[in-house]
Homo-oligomer: A and B are copies of this chain.
Amino acid sequence: MPKSVSKGEQTLHVSRDLKMTAEGSNYADGKAILKDAFQRMVTLIELDHVINGSYQGLPLLASVNVVVHLPGDELNFGVDESYNLSVPATGNPIYAQIEAQTVFGALHALETFSQLCNFDFTSRLIELPSAPWAITDMPRFAYRGLLIDTSRHYLPVPVIKSVIDSMTYSKLNVLHWHIVDEQSFPIEIPSYPKLWNGAYSYSERYTMDDAIDIVQYAEKRGVNILAEIDVPGHALSWGVGYPSLWPSATCKEPLDVSSESTFQVINGILSDFSKVFKFKFVHLGGDEVNTSCWTSTPRVKAWLTQHGMKESDAYRYFVLRAQKIAKSHGYEVINWEETFNNFGDKLDRRTVVHNWLGGGVAEKVVAAGLRCVVSNQDKWYLDHLEVTWDGFYMNEPLKNIKNPEQQKLVLGGEVCMWGEHIDASDIQQTIWPRAAAAAERLWTPFEKLSKEWEIPVLSTRLARFRCLLNHRGIAAGPGNMLNASSTDQSKESCARRGLQGAKLSSDKTEEEVKTNEV
């Protein structure tokens, strides 16, 4: 739901030869980001049905003029994503107008435009009802993330690209790629070429060129890739290629804190990462560290004693040293919240704390002056199948944070699609539509978000969004949207799509739907 919307009563029909123009724009589109996005948008609105009606005598929308004020197209955290979209009701020809500071704002505008369009079964054309439209829009949070996990199940590159596509439909902008974990190490690290010996199999691997391809694919769609290596826990698979990273052959994680080569390998990985993953942040994990291998392995225990460290000291030492390495490669660091919970005052002040264990953490983090990303597992873990979409929707990142300066420290939030129980066959239906509920929480101004008592209206709108995803080939599941049989769900969900079904200033919409009912 945009920041501000007004609409009218005129139905336009979209030309099959819809053009994009750039009168008044300062953006040269050298990488064809805008041109390709426009073409994808046209493909999407024309995907559903054969369009072969006659435009004769109908109000025709002939083109979209896109004005981008800034010439640059470096995507990163905090880039201006705002846009204005206006679709007049009259003109000869009629053209829509998009205005944005950056090309990435313009991409969002094109997505919104696409969601105003429907196939019209009477004219057999694409219609754009309810013109004139005037939409002013910008995100509430700069960080709107989705985590995928390619260690617990490998995800083929085309699947990752499909996830990125689907993210743009609800304006998520950070794909947190939890690449490696205990179970497998699927990615090539040129500096340490045996690391991906920890992959599940010969073919379940990503070359570094694949990673570059994914980053570029995402950037062209306004999506940042946040790469994670989770240290020192969750790293057993590293030792398949380099067994010396294990404390011992029988006690394999966390990574050996006593060994300099451990930090050399981390340095090698982050050095390689820095050439590929250009997002301002890297994620260094730091969660669920069971340090018992460090004390049960004589060599490591001796090192602890020698350095006067308890296990907790060594954990802190490891995390802080890894942070320093990341900083040396130009990154700011995100760590899971255990690092804050255990030694928050020792963390680099630029650390972003990634909440996951539960609620109430963000307020402590920002009170301590650190930044925070919210993913409390009770509400925003997509592998928690029992959490319904309204649970996702109602999870407020700024809960109990009233101080405006502290509010600014909450960068945003992220829904997490952990990979233990999903793979290429069901990832999309597990992510969607629940991720879209969180996406609106992260995008829309707080005062425009639906309240508890507006859930039924929201439900209809989200069901339509699910239908939009299905029509675009994204296998979004029903997501417990309605207490109805599966047959009835279908009936309810696709009656009408997108913003057209939104509860806006008037209740015109319902009337329109009725008019169009067969």
Contact = CB atoms under 8 A, between A and B. Distances in A.
A162 B473 contact: yes
Contact of A425 (B119, B205, B477): B477
B470 A425 contact: yes
Contact of A159 (B210, B426, B470): B470
Given A203-B119, A420-B487, A518-B197, A48 B158 contact: yes
Given A156-B470, A471-B156, A202 B423 contact: no
Contacts of A494: 154, 200-201, 203-204
B158 A47 contact: yes
A231 B375 CA distance: 53
B425 A212 contact: no
A78 to B, nearest CB: 29
Nearest to A424: B470
A209 B52 contact: yes
A496 B202 contact: yes
A217 to B, nearest CB: 11
Contact of A490 (B118, B153, B196, B478): B153
Contacts of A50: 207, 209-210, 212-213
A153 B487 contact: yes
Nearest to A203: B494
A299 interface: no
Contacts of A423: 470, 478, 486, 489-490
A124 interface: yes
A478 B158 CA distance: 18
Contacts of A204: 490-491, 494
Contacts of A200: 490-491, 494
Contacts of A476: 424-425
Contacts of A271: none
A495 interface: yes
Contacts of A478: 423, 425
Size range of the chain A interface in the assembly: 35 or more
A201 B495 contact: yes
A488 to B, nearest CB: 9
Contacts of A425: 428-429, 470, 475-478
A292 interface: no
A270 to B, nearest CB: 22
A421 interface: yes
A280 interface: no
A159 B471 CA distance: 7
B473 A158 contact: yes
A213 B467 CA distance: 21
A49 B210 contact: yes
A152 interface: yes
A162 B158 CA distance: 15
Interface string A139-173: 00000000000001110111100100000000000
Contact of A426 (B162, B475, B495): B475
A121 interface: yes
A209 to B, nearest CB: 4
A35 B358 CA distance: 56
Interface in A293-310: none
Nearest to A161: B473
Given A475-B426, A476-B425, A486 B420 contact: yes
A260 interface: no
B205 A121 contact: yes
Contacts of A491: 184, 200-201, 204
A33 to B, nearest CB: 20
A513 B206 CA distance: 18
B475 A428 contact: yes
Contact of A158 (B203, B212, B472): B472
A202 B156 contact: no
A362 interface: no
A328 interface: no
Nearest to A157: B48
A63 to B, nearest CB: 26
17 contacts: A48-B157, A49-B157, A152-B487, A153-B490, A158-B473, A184-B491, A200-B490, A201-B494, A201-B496, A201-B517, A202-B496, A203-B495, A205-B518, A420-B487, A421-B486, A423-B489, A425-B478
3 closest residue pairs by CB, A with B? A50-B209, A424-B470, A201-B495
Interface of A: 47-50, 52, 118-119, 121, 124, 152-154, 156-159, 162, 183-184, 196-197, 199-207, 209-210, 212-213, 420-421, 423-426, 428-429, 467, 470-473, 475-478, 486-487, 489-491, 494-497, 513, 516-518
Given A156-B471, A205-B518, 6 more contacts: A153-B486, A200-B494, A201-B496, A203-B494, A425-B429, A425-B478
